[in-house]
Structure 1
Amino acid sequence: MEDFYNNSSSQDQSSDYSHSDFKNNSHQYYDLPLTKNVTYIIVGIGLPLTLMAIYALYSTVRSDHVAPIYVINLLMSDLLQLCCMIVHVTQPQDGKISQIFYYIYYFGLFTSVYFMVCISLERYLVIVHPLWYRFRRTIKTSVVFCVLVWVITLVCGVLYYVFKGYVVTKIIFPVFLLPPFPLLIFFLVGTLKALSAAMSVPSDEKRRIVGILVLVLLIYTLLFLPNIIFYLVIYDKTLDILSLIFVRFSPLADLFLYVFMRKGAIDKLLASVCCCRMDRNEISSPSV
């Protein structure tokens, strides 16, 4: 993704470049005034708010309310990205340090994408299979899934570090970052179809679930998907820089998930949309 600063001729070269080359290439990106200013804003706003959101969600975790666990892990991956951004903008003199934090950043990025999938899957099960899910949702199960996500994305990060050539990178990114897109769409569509049949789920909970699914899909579509498309299909330096900036806004966008996890005013904003859809479903259903 951030390989945009390599020109097209260097993309076919061997992946074992020196640390000084990495340092010079990364400086070419982070020296851009727009990029540095945006990163300062993201870190300045995102870091304290993410810490506060993690603490607030941790206090809401109960044996019968495990949904915040996935959001907490998502915010932890965002926290990892924010810390790497701090290192990036400080531009350490040792190119090896820059390189290490470069890969840690993408480890956090991959992790955040898959925790978004976990959040959507968990919300999907609440609506589509409420009874089945009610008897199987436990803190232990959620923790196991979280550990699996961290391990799988760590393996992805190691592969990216070991096989960091241009061709291999074009394989790793699609394999790990494109599958979440159809999954997120499937979870949203399936949830919308099953809304009226989920009688055991309260109406306000249904609205929050739909809001979370829509928000997760929007975050992925608007912030992640352009970067993947530009990197795999289009090679244009300006578009690539813009798509990279979009990705850096993901820690701020993820904070809205904390808002949707809390009961309150957000229910009023979602009530009309969801209620209208449910009313249409009831009208179209044949009477017995």
Structure 2
Amino acid sequence: MTSSKSISLTEVGPRDGLQNEVRNLPTSEKIALIERLSAAGCKEIEITSFVSPKMIPNLADAAEVVAGTSSLPLTRFALVPNTRGYERAHAAGVEGVTLVLSATDSHNMKNLNRTTQESIADLVPLFERARMDGLQARVSISMVFGCPFEGNPGLGRIERLVGTMADKGFRRIGLCDTIGIANPNQVFDWMSVLRQRFSDVEFELHFHDTYGRGLANLMAGIAAGVRRFDSCIGGIGGCPYAPGATGNIATEDVVSLLEASGYDAGIALDGLLGASDFLADQLRKSMSSSIWRVHHSQCAKAA
């Protein structure tokens, strides 16, 4: 980071946003969305996931999406759950991989059919392969702030889990509020402790807006010193294996708030609104973004 006021956003809409949508976008529309996000200034986008098409049919065209975005000036991440997913992603030509596990065994079993510790054992060799293959790698931990099956896992459990991952060499670790249950005090307190204990880890936070706390939680993370976040165009999305999980925090809302608060994500709000308009047309529904609704209300009044 070049400044304490600089914020890095990873756009996850083409993956986390689209995976659970009723309408499965054609490959050409997914590529067009990624192109618009890139044009708006998004430098890092999680463009797809190499999971079983039977599990996530909306992302069955992962290789085609990677091929269709190869010329864009950005780092393209793909989520990979296992060795087979990694091999497919690497062969397709992505620049980065997101490795995943859950903080609770209950969700990990539903999502990945193994315990959390079994997932760690699986991910370590994939992390090593990514480094040898010249790919960027990050690990994303779900259910950090609360789980629909086990409740709040507690800071102690998260400290131990992060410690295990850090000991295995992971340096970019994402903590996800998968069901949107976190609150700003929890985020600030937990991240203050974790950043102090693991000073060599670059934490990133991933918030959902189920209870309307997503942006407040993001600002709490910034107050605790976190400078990397995931966000999703239009505020769409949700985890198919987490009951009650709703959309992510909207990238355009995040950028609008950051600009008003004196932070810089290097992404043009007008370009994001254009991308959100495109997505709304393709999905045939309104976006969950507050700034998108304000923009459309103003446009309607002007007309």
Give TM-score scaled by structure 2 length: 0.26
Whichever of the two has the greater Rg, that structure is 1
User: Higher relative contact order by CA 8 Å / sep ≥ 6: 1 or 2?
Assistant: 1
Structure with the larger helix share: 1
